[in-house]
Amino acid sequence: MSPAPTIHLHKGDLPEGLSFPNGIAVDTETMGLRVSRDRLCVVQVSGGDNTAHVVQILPGEDAPVLRSILGSHGVQKIMHYGRFDIATLQYWLGVLCEPVYCTKIASKLCRTSAESHSLKTLCKELLGIELSKQQQTSDWGAPELSAEQISYAASDVLYLHALKERLDALLVREGRTALAAGCFRFLPTRSLLDLSGWDDPDLFAH
């Protein structure tokens, strides 16, 4: 049985001195799904070591330590549906995440028979882990986060490194590693296009 994860809650920013030599799993919680309207409330990260850091971002805070790590080209950012998180972090914290790896894109490229590419589905089918999504639409703007919210936020990053490892093997098996790498390189630009108004209609639509 795996040990229980370690979860740290931080107000406003990450502490100094953390390092993420194996890349950093990143996810965000916002007040909704419209980037320019719905403020950033939480950024959760993990180094793939069964430890998660949940950073509560209050209005007006810009989290300089977190921004420095997310903006470092020497640290790979692992995300699930990175298109949204990259746009959110750029809009609200002014940091463009590069380089990135998106488990949702990787799954779509190498698991073409799958009906779902959600994080919940990937964790269940590739890792045998059941995620609860009960807190997904809770009030992330509350002054104090509940224990359930903190646990939920952590679960969205604790398993991304393990998923990447499994998906990388599948991408190699299907001969799509280079194609995935090209998608990941383009993803920050895709998010910038979204922020610039080319999300609807999609610039690449007919």
pLDDT at 133 over 90: no
pLDDT at 135: 67
Higher pLDDT, 133 or 72: 72
Domain ranges of the chain: 6-195
pLDDT at 3: 87
CA distances from 72 to 66, 80, 87, 164 (A): 10, 19, 16, 20
30 SS3 class = strand
Task: Tell me the pLDDT band of 1, cut-offs 50, 70 and 90.
Answer: low
Task: Tell me the pLDDT band of 2, cut-offs 50, 70 and 90.
Answer: confident
Q: Is the pTM of this model over 0.75?
A: yes
Segment 87-102, tens digit of pLDDT: 999 999 999 999 999 9
In this structure, CATH architecture of domain 6-195? 2-Layer Sandwich (3.30)
